[in-house]
Amino acid sequence: MQATPGPDPLRAELAAAQARGPIRVIIEQPRTSWIARGLKWLVVLVVVIWLFSSSFEKSYYGENDLQERWHSLSHTATDKVAIISLEGAIVGDESFVKKQIDHVADDEHVKAIVLRIDSPGGTVTGSDYIYHHVKKLLETKKIPLVVSMGSVAASGGYYVAMAAGGAEDTIFAEPTTWTGSIGVIIPHYDLSGLLEKLNVSDDSIASNPLKMMGSPTRKFPEPIRAEEQKILQELVDSSFAGFKDIVLAGRPALRDNQEVQSVVFTGRIFTAQQAKANLLVDRLGFIEDAIDRAIELANLNKDDVRVIKFHRPVPIMEQLLMGGSQSRKQALDMSALLDLASPRAYYLCTFMPGVNATER
C-alpha cells in the first residue's frame, strides 16, 4: 500500500496567513554607505562654490580680471607710476600683458611707466604684438617709459624693450641680467633617420613637396631639400632684418657704429656689463632705480607718487583644487600639440640641443 502524503507545511502556513488578512510584502532598500553619501555632498559643495566664485570674481574684479596693488612710495598719492610686467616666454598668450596696457591706458592718474621684463623671448609675432601695443600706449598718453630688465631680457624680450624709443637713460639692467641674443630661429629636427631604424616611414600626401616644408619626419631628395633650406633661410633673414630695424630705432647710438653692430647682431648673449659696453643698455640698476628715472622724466615729486603693479587673481576654485600654489596653466590638448608641431619663427634665447646651429 502507498503511504498517504502528509499536509504541506508551506501550504498550511500560507492558508493561515490568508485567513488573518491580506498579505503585504516589504522590500528594504540597501543602506547607502557613508562614503557614497559624502561624495554626493562633496559634488554639491563644489558646484555651489564654483557658482559663487564665478559670480563673485566677475562682480569684484570685473571682466578685466586684474587687480591693482601698491608697490612702493606713497600709499595715498594720486599720481602713479605703473609697473607693466612681462614675465616668462612669449608663446602666444599675451592677454595679461595686454590687460595691463589697457588698464594703464584708461587710468588718467598714471604719469609714467616702468616696463619690467624678465623673459627669454618667444614667437616673432607675440613679441611684435607686445611691442606694438606698448608703443601705441606711449603715443596715446604721451608719458615716459623706462625699462627694467630682470634676470633675462633676451631676444624677443629685448625686442619689447625697444619700445622705450631711444630716450636718454631709459634702459636699466640689473648687474646679473643676461640680455641680447638678437636673432631669429626656426627650430627644426630631422627624425627621419630614427624612423628608418624603427621601420616607420612618413607617407603623407601633399599637393607639392614644399607643402611639407619643415617636416621633421620626411626625408626629401637633395634638390627639394636645398629649396626648402633656401626658403626657410629667406624667412629667417626677413624677420632678422625687421629685428635689426627695431633695435637701431631704439638704440640711436648703434646706428653709426658698425663695429659694435658686428658684435651685437651675431645672436650672442651678453652680461649686463657687456651689454652696457656694447650700447644695448644705458645703466646698471634695479627696479627702484628705473622707478626713480621714470619719476624724473615725468617731472613728478617722489614724495607724492604711488607706484603700482598689477596682479592676476587666481580663481577661488583653482585655489581650492591646486592649493593656490600654481598659476594658470594651459591645457595640453590636441590644438596645443598641433601648434608645437607647426613651423614657427622665434625671437628666442634657448639652449635646446641642435637649435643654435640654425640661428641667424
H-state helical runs in the chain: 9-20, 34-61, 95-106, 124-141, 156-161, 192-197, 222-250, 258-264, 272-277, 287-297, 316-322, 334-341
Beta bridge partners of 309: 69, 83
Active site residues: 155, 211
Residues 6 or more apart whose Cβ sits within 8 Å of residue 235 = 186, 345
- Is 88:119 a contact under the CB 8 Å cutoff? yes
Place of cell 502528509: 6
- Contact indicator for 112, 291 with CB cutoff of 8 Å: no
CA distance 126 to 346: 9
C-alpha 87/C-alpha 287 separation (Å) is: 14
User: Could you give the CA distance from residue 152 to residue 271 in angstroms, rounded to a whole number?
Assistant: 9
Interhelix angle 95-106/124-141, nearest 10 degrees: 0
DSSP letter (8 states) at residue 89: -
**Residues making up the chain, counted from first to last:** 360
Q: What is the C-alpha separation between 193 and 216, in angstroms, rounded?
A: 10
Please tell me the distance from the alpha carbon of residue 330 to that of residue 344, in angstroms, as a whole number. Answer: 19
Rounded to an integer, what distance in angstroms lies between the CA atom of residue 202 and that of residue 359? 27
**Which single residue is written with the C-alpha cell 554626493?**
40
C-alpha dihedral (237, 243, 244, 246), degrees to nearest 10: 150
Distance, CA of 228 to CA of 279 (rounded, Å): 36
8 A C-beta contact, residue 80 and residue 298: no
CB 53, CB 86: distance < 8 Å? no
